[in-house]
């Protein structure tokens, strides 16, 4: 099944349009086309990359705890595998759509390429609110979803991982359902598993760690001291809480953190360890806070650095002018629309893009996959050292393009990724 992709739009044209309706897919396709022009990427490769290889839509019926049957819709989008097996997370979210999965799968292709790890891009999910599911319902949903996509995932074909609304336990159920089906234990079919069944040290904290590492690199690049840097973080889950806590530990002042209910604001700096993360207790970030702001006020705060680490398309043409931060580091996937990105560029506010900043997750997933294949566990020191090395190498590659071509950080990251993907297509010559 192939997808109808949106038409590519001129960036200046999109500047003049309202981006109320700019979809995540439109954002990614526009970015692809802009960078393809910059590096003269073969138009055939651009055409190929503008479409997912396959998109699967499945029906996931489960028995609720009260005995009734409820039917959910699930997706798995596989974008491109020229550099290796499809790789990407599975999210449980009531508003997830087919197109959003396609957009996120495309971003995974770029992310793996910018990190130079041998995977392509995929993403999937189920249209369900994990907060409305009991643990047994979560398990039944996961096992049935795995059954429905069982033929198209596998350690050498497509390897799911956690994303919003899913966690290590979800991955354990996927691994068990898949392994039971094929009659053999296959730890490599998913990453982000519990340690007891082949998970890796450091995977859970890895995306937040990479966000913090890139934030620190960027601060150094612009000659800031982290000790004098104030930061606001949207989302206090797997990515946001870890990033905030590390940056706090490294000396920055985290002055605001938020969840769906609001913003906890402490101008003198928050003790981030004392605030419950999403995993510790959902929707509790503002509990007992002295000062609580409305969620949308986070972007208006007078801070040095902004880290959107919750959901996509939150920095838009409508609110981008409220932003006074001097630097943005994207923890979430696709938090900035293409139109808002152009305005930030005009305003000289650098944006360190998602495909670099949060790539620690898939990088440690790659380490986990290697450990599964070799049946050898790495120490947490080894995982963190190798992650730091990979992040620094990717930073250097992106910084080189940023400086040599005088493009945005996002375009520089896309250039690194698309050059590698283009070279793989050149070498393989996949055209029939």
Q: Which two tokens stand for residue 31?
A: 């970015």
216 φ, ψ (degrees, to nearest 5):
-65, -45
DSSP state of 385: H
Q: Residue 327 in contact with residue 352, Cβ under 8 Å?
A: yes
Instruction: Choose the binding region for ligand AKG from 83-91, 174-182, 209-217, 307-315 (rule: CB under 6 A).
Output: 83-91
242 is catalytic: no
Number of residues that bind ligand AKG (CB under 6 A): 13
Inter-CA distances, 172 with 14, 24, 136, 188, 424, Å:
43, 29, 14, 11, 33
The residue (of 187 and 331) whose beta carbon lies closer to ligand NDP is 331
Q: Which of 87, 111, 123, 217 is catalytic?
A: 123
Tell the residue number behind the tokens 């290697």, with chain if given.
Answer: 370
Query: For the window 10-49, what string marks contact with ligand NDP as x by the rule CB under 6 A?
Result: ----------------------------------------
Q: Looking at 86, 110, 145, 278, which residue binds ligand NDP (CB under 6 A)? A: 278
Inter-CA distances, 204 with 112, 361, 365, Å:
18, 8, 10
Q: Residue 68 in contact with residue 41, Cβ under 8 Å?
A: no
Number of residues that bind ligand NDP (CB under 6 A): 28
Q: Classify strands 292-293 and 262-265 as parallel, antiparallel or unpaired.
A: antiparallel
Q: Looking at 52, 120, 160, 235, which residue binds ligand NDP (CB under 6 A)? A: 235
Question: Minimum CB separation from ligand AKG for residue 110, in Å?
Answer: 11
Q: Classify strands 86-92 and 120-126 as parallel, antiparallel or unpaired.
A: parallel
Question: Minimum CB separation from ligand NDP for residue 241, in Å?
Answer: 7
Q: Looking at 292, 295, 370, 377, which residue binds ligand NDP (CB under 6 A)? A: 295
The residue (of 46 and 103) whose beta carbon lies closer to ligand NDP is 103
Residue 238 in the binding site for ligand AKG (CB under 6 A): no
- Contact partner, 88, from ligand NDP, ligand AKG, none, Cβ < 5-8 Å per class: ligand AKG
Tell the residue number behind the tokens 């890895």, with chain if given.
Answer: 206
Q: Which two tokens stand for residue 297?
A: 């006020």
Question: Minimum CB separation from ligand NDP for residue 261, in Å?
Answer: 6
Give just the sign of the alpha carbon dihedral 370, 409, 104, 39: negative
Residue 311: exposure state from Cβ atoms within 10 A (0-12, 13-18, ≥19)? middle
Q: Looking at 170, 316, 333, 337, which residue binds ligand AKG (CB under 6 A)? A: 333
Q: Which two tokens stand for residue 253?
A: 């002042």
Q: Using CB under 6 A, which residues numbered 352 to 371 contact ligand AKG?
A: 358, 361-362, 365
Query: For the window 190-209, what string marks contact with ligand AKG as x by the rule CB under 6 A?
Result: -xx-----------------
Residue 357 in the binding site for ligand NDP (CB under 6 A): no
Q: SS3 for 48?
A: helix
Residues with a known catalytic role: 123
Binding site for ligand AKG (CB under 6 A): 87-89, 111, 161, 163, 191-192, 333, 358, 361-362, 365
């Amino acid at each position: 099944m192939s997808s109808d992709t949106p038409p590519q739009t001129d960036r200046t044209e999109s500047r003049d349009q309202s981006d109320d309706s700019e979809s995540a897919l439109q954002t990614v396709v526009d970015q692809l086309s802009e960078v393809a022009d910059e590096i003269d990427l073969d138009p055939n490769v651009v055409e190929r990359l503008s479409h997912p290889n396959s998109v699967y839509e499945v029906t996931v019926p489960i028995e609720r705890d009260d005995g009734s049957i409820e039917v959910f819709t699930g997706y798995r989008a596989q974008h491109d595998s020229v550099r290796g097996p499809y790789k990407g997370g599975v999210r449980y979210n009531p508003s997830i759509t087919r197109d959003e999965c396609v957009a996120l799968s495309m971003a995974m292709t770029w992310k793996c390429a910018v990190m130079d790890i041998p995977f392509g891009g995929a993403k999937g999910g189920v249209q369900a609110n994990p907060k409305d599911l009991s643990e047994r319902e979560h398990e039944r949903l996961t096992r049935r979803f795995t059954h429905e996509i069982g033929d198209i995932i596998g350690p050498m074909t497509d390897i799911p991982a956690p994303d919003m609304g899913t966690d290590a336990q979800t991955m354990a159920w996927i691994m068990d359902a898949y392994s039971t089906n094929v009659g053999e234990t296959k730890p490599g079919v998913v990453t982000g598993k519990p340690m007891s069944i082949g998970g890796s040290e450091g995977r859970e904290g890895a995306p937040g760690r990479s966000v913090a590492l890139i934030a620190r690199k960027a601060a150094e690049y612009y000659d800031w001291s982290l000790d004098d840097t104030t930061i606001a973080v949207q989302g206090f889950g797997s990515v946001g809480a870890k990033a905030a806590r590390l940056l706090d530990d490294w000396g920055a002042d985290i002055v605001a953190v938020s969840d769906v209910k609001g913003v906890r604001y402490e101008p003198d700096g928050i003790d981030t360890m004392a605030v419950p993360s999403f995993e510790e207790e959902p929707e509790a970030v503002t509990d007992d806070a002295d000062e609580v702001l409305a969620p949308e006020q986070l972007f208006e705060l007078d801070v040095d650095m902004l880290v959107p680490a919750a959901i996509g398309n939150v920095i838009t043409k409508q609110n981008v002018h409220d932003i006074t931060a001097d630097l943005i580091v994207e923890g979430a996937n696709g938090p900035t629309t293409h139109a808002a990105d152009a305005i930030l560029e005009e305003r000289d506010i650098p944006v360190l893009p998602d495909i670099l900043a949060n790539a620690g997750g898939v990088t440690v997933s790659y380490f986990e996959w290697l450990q599964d294949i070799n049946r050898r566990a790495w120490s947490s020191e080894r995982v963190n050292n190798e992650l730091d090395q990979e992040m620094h190498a990717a930073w250097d590659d992106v910084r080189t393009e940023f400086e040599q071509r005088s493009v945005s950080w996002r375009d520089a990251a896309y250039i690194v990724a698309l050059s590698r993907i283009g070279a793989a297509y050149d070498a393989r010559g996949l055209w029939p």
